[in-house]
Structure 1
Amino acid sequence: MFNINYIELFILNTLIYFDLFDYPLTLLEIHQYLYTGGMEGSSYTLLEIEDCLNNSENLKKIIANKNGFYFLQSREKIIEMRQKRYVLAEYKFKLARRVIQIFKYLPFIKLVAVCNNLAYLNAKKDSDIDLFVITAKNRLWLSRFFLIIIITLLGLRPPKEKVKDKICLSFYVTEDNLDLEPIKIASEDIYLNYWLVQLLPFYQRENFYDKFMDANLWLKKYFPNFSPKKVGQRLRIDDSKINANIYELKEYFWRGKLGDMLETWLKNFQYKKMSQQKKDLAIIGDKRVIISDDMLKFHENDRRLEYLEKFEKKRKELIEKL
Structure 2
Amino acid sequence: MSIYLDKGATYCRIVSSLLRNECTESVIINVNDAKENILATLAYFDIFKYPLTAGEIYLFLKNKYEQHDFDYALKSLVAGRTVYQFNNFYTLKNDYALIARRYNGNKKAAELIKVAAKVGDMLIRFPYVRGIAISGSLSKNYADENSDIDLFIITAKNRLWIARTLMHTLKKLTFLVNKQDYFCMNYYIDEAQLEIKEKTIYTAIEVVTLIPLQGDTIIEQFYAANSWTRNYLPNKIMRISSAKPLKPSLFKILFEKLLNNRFGNAIDDMLMRVTANRWAKKTEQKKVNSKGSVMAMDVGKHYAKPDPGNFQARLLAQYESKISQILVEPQNLLAN
TM range (shorter): 0.7 to 0.9
Counterparts of 1:142-161 in structure 2, within 5 Å, are: 142-155=162-175
Q: Distance in 2 between matches of 1:118 and 1:57?
A: 29
In the other structure, the counterpart of 1:39 is none
CA 303–262 in structure 1, closer or farther in 2 if over 3 Å, else same:
closer
Instruction: Give 1:117's match in structure 2, choosing from 125, 130, 137.
Output: 137
Amino acid at match of 1:169: M
The alpha carbon displacement at 1:78 in A equals: 1.0
Please tell me whether residue 306 in structure 1 is matched to residue 309 in structure 2: no
Q: Distance in 1 between matches of 2:77 and 2:300?
A: 51
In the other structure, the counterpart of 2:235 is 225
Would you say the 8 A contact 2:201–2:232 is kept in 1? no
The alpha carbon displacement at 1:302 in A equals: 2.9
Counterparts of 1:51-62 in structure 2, within 5 Å, are: 51-54=72-75, 56=76, 60-62=80-82
Would you say the 8 A contact 1:27–1:70 is kept in 2? yes
Please tell me whether residue 320 in structure 1 is matched to residue 320 in structure 2: no
1:301 aligns to what SS in structure 2? helix
In the other structure, the counterpart of 2:107 is 87
Counterparts of 1:1-322 in structure 2, within 5 Å, are: 5-34=32-61, 36=62, 42-54=63-75, 56=76, 60-155=80-175, 165-181=181-197, 183=198, 189-205=200-216, 207-230=217-240, 236-240=243-247, 243-271=248-276, 273-278=278-283, 289-321=297-329, 322=331
CA 71–16 in structure 1, closer or farther in 2 if over 3 Å, else same:
same
After TM superposition, the score normalised by the length of structure 2 is 0.76
Cα deviations across residues 141-195 of structure 1 (Å, max 9, x unaligned)? 101011112222233899xxxx9834222321111112223x35xxxx3322322
Amino acid at match of 1:21: F
Q: Distance in 1 between matches of 2:45 and 2:279?
A: 34
The alpha carbon displacement at 1:10 in A equals: 0.9
Cα deviations across residues 225-284 of structure 1 (Å, max 9, x unaligned)? 11111465xxx54545xx444433333332223422432443355445445144899xxx
CA 155–45 in structure 1, closer or farther in 2 if over 3 Å, else same:
farther
CA 238–178 in structure 1, closer or farther in 2 if over 3 Å, else same:
closer
Range with bigger deviation, 90-99 or 16-25: 90-99
2:309 aligns to what SS in structure 1? coil
- Unpaired runs of 5+ residues, structure 2, are 1-28, 287-295, 332-336
- Unpaired runs of 5+ residues, structure 1, are 37-41, 282-287
Q: Distance in 1 between matches of 2:77 and 2:53?
A: 20
What fraction of aligned residue pairs are identical, expressed as a percent?
A: 26
2:85 aligns to what SS in structure 1? strand
1:133 aligns to what SS in structure 2? strand
Q: Of the two, which has the highest radius of gyration?
A: 2
CA RMSD of aligned residues (A): 2.9
In the other structure, the counterpart of 1:284 is none
CA 270–314 in structure 1, closer or farther in 2 if over 3 Å, else same:
closer
Would you say the 8 A contact 1:170–1:299 is kept in 2? no
Q: Distance in 1 between matches of 2:122 and 2:265?
A: 24
CA 64–23 in structure 1, closer or farther in 2 if over 3 Å, else same:
same
Amino acid at match of 2:190: T
Q: Distance in 2 between matches of 1:231 and 1:57?
A: 36
Q: Distance in 2 between matches of 1:57 and 1:138?
A: 51
After TM superposition, the score normalised by the length of structure 1 is 0.79
1:165 aligns to what SS in structure 2? helix
Cα deviations across residues 54-95 of structure 1 (Å, max 9, x unaligned)? 3x3587331122221111241332111001111221232233
1:11 aligns to what SS in structure 2? helix
The alpha carbon displacement at 1:220 in A equals: 1.0
Cα deviations across residues 124-146 of structure 1 (Å, max 9, x unaligned)? 32122211111111101101011
Q: Distance in 2 between matches of 1:157 and 1:175?
A: 33
Would you say the 8 A contact 2:119–2:182 is kept in 1? no
Would you say the 8 A contact 1:127–1:164 is kept in 2? no
Q: Distance in 2 between matches of 1:129 and 1:86?
A: 14
